[in-house]
Structure 1
Amino acid sequence: MAPIPTPPAQPQDDPDAYVGLGAEGAERQARERGWSTVRSLPPGAMITMEYLAGRLNFEVKEGVVTRCWKG
């Protein structure tokens, strides 16, 4: 029988801490804190809804993070 896969670890980080930061600084900070994937999206962007451990999503308007969520 195949072993049960272990999902990748994800940083214990509060996504709300990124709201209000500049997009470039927020992305740099997220990578320093261990996020393997950081995705910046414009408001209302069409995206797939699959959850990916280790990914942090930013909604960015005029260069500022307005929303942030895991996966």
Structure 2
Amino acid sequence: MAPIPTPSAEPQDNPDAYVGMDESSAEQAARERGWSPVRKLPPGAIITMEYMSGRLNFEISDGRVKRCWKG
């Protein structure tokens, strides 16, 4: 039987800190803090609900982060 995979550790970071930042600065900061991948989405985008450890999601409107969440 195959071993159960261990999820990678997430950066100890507060997603709310990215709200209000411009898109490129937020993405750069997230990658520097260890988030991978970083997903940028338009408001109201239809996405799957699977949780991916280590992923940070940005909702981008008018070039700024309006919402940010893990997974």
Q: Shared fold (TM-score greater than 0.5)?
A: yes
1:20 equivalent in structure 2: 20
SS of corresponding position for 2:10: coil
| Fraction of identical pairs, as percent | 72
AA partner of residue 64 (structure 1): R
2:6 equivalent in structure 1: 6
2:68 equivalent in structure 1: 68
* C-alpha displacement of 1:3: 2.7
Question: Which stretch of the first structure deviates more once superposed, 42-51 or 2-11?
Answer: 2-11
Pairwise CA RMSD: 0.8
AA partner of residue 35 (structure 1): W
> Which ranges of structure 2 fall in alignment gaps of 5 or more residues?
none
AA partner of residue 68 (structure 2): C
* C-alpha displacement of 1:5: 1.6
AA partner of residue 49 (structure 1): M
* C-alpha displacement of 1:36: 1.2
> Which ranges of structure 1 fall in alignment gaps of 5 or more residues?
none
* C-alpha displacement of 1:21: 0.1
* C-alpha displacement of 1:9: 1.0
- Normalising by structure 1, what TM-score? 0.95
SS of corresponding position for 2:30: helix
1:7-54 alpha-carbon deviations (Å, 9 max, x no partner): 011101000000000010000000000001000000000100100001
